[in-house]
Amino acid sequence: MIKVKIKVIGPFIYEAGFSEKEFELEKPSTAGQLLSLVNIQENRPKIMTRNGKAISPNEELEDGDRIAICPIYSGG
């Protein structure tokens, strides 16, 4: 099992129901699999980062990772 923290950013927190939460996952788990555990509509454009760096959905997660899920911002 691995423990990862999810940080939800922006108005996604109102869909997801939380802004920061720890998840326990089976090993191996991917970012995409983690995303499916969070209640954010699939068709909403979003980006994910892992420990501050871009990540693709099929990337494998490690114990202690911090995953951020964010809407597409364009800098106002």
Q: Which of 10, 3, 4, 1 is nearest to 47 (CA)?
A: 10
The rounded distance, in Å, linking the Cα atoms of 26 and 76 is 39
Min CB(41)–another protein separation in Å = 10
Can you list the alpha helix ranges (DSSP code H) found in the chain? Answer: 12-16, 31-35
Site string for another protein, 21-40 (x = CB under 8 A): --------------------
Among 2, 16, 35, 68, binds another protein (CB under 8 A): 68
Q: Which of residues 5-24 bind another protein (CB under 8 A)?
A: 7, 9-11, 13-15, 19
